[in-house]
């Protein structure tokens, strides 16, 4: 892995995991919450750690092994399902009790739900491009011939496309 990428990934790791561990270590987090937000926070810490592992693997390997692509996509589906579950839990009537009892936990889960929904929106936005590229090979991005609908936006970050 290039040293420049490591310098980006390591602070990103700290920025993503530090607030979650901070909320986990607070005394108020252990109070009763009928929406089980603590379970969602622990699951999100696990998924964030797995995501960072995938980030290191994706930066190291080129081309990617098919099994890693499949594992990454399964992880993505499970992470999206967890994000939807957090959103549903926060929208339930039980979450109002959590907002009063465990304020920090509630708002941490609210931020996580917003981030999950935003990333799900990004995937929904990119899906037509991935499907079009599968149906008409290299129509969306052809880096060798330097053409395609998405050549200009991704020419400096092609590692995002091959996943």
Q: What pLDDT, in 10s, does the model give residues 114-145?
A: 999 998 898 888 787 778 777 777 666 666 66
pTM of the model as a whole: 0.74
31-78 pLDDT, tens digit per residue, is 888 888 888 899 999 998 888 888 878 777 777 788 988 998 899 899
**Domain contains 135:** no
pLDDT at 96: 80
Phi/psi of residue 142, each to 5°? -130, 90
**Domain contains 137:** no
Q: Does the pLDDT value for residue 163 go beyond 50?
A: no
Location of structure tokens 């969306």? 140
**Domain contains 154:** no
- 151: Cβ–Cβ under 8 A, 6 or more apart, which residues? 141, 142, 143
**Domain contains 134:** no
The total domain count for the chain is 1
pLDDT at 135: 77
**What percentage of residues in the chain have a pLDDT greater than 70?**
80
Higher pLDDT, 150 or 42: 42
- 163: Cβ–Cβ under 8 A, 6 or more apart, which residues? 58, 64, 69, 72
Domain around 10: 3-126
Closest CA to 77 of 100, 50, 37: 50
**Domain contains 58:** yes
Cα dihedral: 93, 112, 71, 81 (round 10): 20
Q: Counting beta carbons within 10 angstroms of the beta carbon of residue 59, is it exposed (0 to 12), middle (13 to 18) or buried (19 or more)?
A: middle
């Amino acid at each position: 892995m290039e040293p420049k990428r490591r310098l980006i990934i390591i602070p990103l790791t700290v920025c993503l995991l530090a607030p979650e561990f901070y909320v986990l270590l607070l005394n108020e987090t252990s109070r009763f919450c009928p929406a089980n937000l603590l379970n969602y926070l622990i699951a999100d810490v696990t998924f964030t750690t797995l995501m960072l592992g995938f980030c290191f693997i994706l930066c190291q390997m080129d081309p990617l092994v098919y099994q890693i692509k499949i594992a990454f996509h399964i992880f993505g589906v499970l992470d999206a399902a967890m994000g939807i579950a957090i959103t549903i839990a926060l929208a339930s009537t039980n979450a109002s009790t959590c907002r009063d009892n465990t304020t920090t936990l509630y708002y941490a889960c609210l931020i996580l739900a917003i981030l999950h929904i935003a990333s799900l929106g990004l995937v929904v936005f990119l899906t037509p491009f991935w499907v079009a590229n599968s149906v008409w090979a290299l129509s969306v991005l052809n880096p060798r011939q330097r053409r395609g609908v998405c050549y200009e936006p991704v020419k400096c970050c092609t590692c995002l496309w091959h996943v």
